[in-house]
Amino acid sequence: MSKRLYDGARIYSFVSHELSHGLLNPMKVSSILNEDLVRVNLAGDTKEEVINNIIDLLAHSNKVKDLEKVRQAIFERERIMSTGVGKGFAIPHGKTDAVSDIVAAFAVTEKPIDYESLDHEPIRLLFLLVGKDSLVGAHIKLLSRISRLMNKEELRKRLLQAKSSSEILEILREEEMSYLDV
């Protein structure tokens, strides 16, 4: 067995052991959301309106110290490049010390929104992620996890059909249980 395969097997064995004993706890997307941070039929006619409306959901989070600084961080990031990643999905995000920990919100818009997406298609699914400046690693891991989740066409369809915040949370939990991540 090559050293690389041996090392890979050792890492897999270690991670499996740690997970099975509850010693490793990868952050799940569904664990940073609750019904107050999820909205079905988010109002808005423009990209700016839906971003502002999803940011407003964060007023329900005790992790947000200054909502206006969060808003500023999100729009500053959006000016660099659109966070409309395609397939009807956008992931507005930013980092700021105006939060005490990573905070998120999820919404399905009431109608398609021109979001200047990479594929030039309108969006209906928005996942807002705000990280603390000092938690860059966790922020990047969550962005990656969200992107992988939302890349699944069947999941996007189910989310678009959801009728309530609780249904969206259940769909996300079920999806996250279907694969292991560290």
- 60, 31, 23: which is closest to 146 by C-alpha? 31
d(CA 78, CA 93): 8
Sign of CA dihedral 68, 70, 76, 78: negative
Q: What is the DSSP letter of 26?
A: P
Residue 107: count of CB within 10 angstroms of its CB: 26
**Known catalytic residues?**
93
**Any residues with CB less than 8 A from the CB of 104 and at least 6 apart, and which?**
29, 32, 33, 37, 127, 128, 129, 130, 142
- Is residue 106 within 8 Å of 127, Cβ to Cβ? yes
d(CA 164, CA 177): 20
What are the start-end ranges of the H helices in 58-164?
Answer: 67-80, 136-150, 153-161
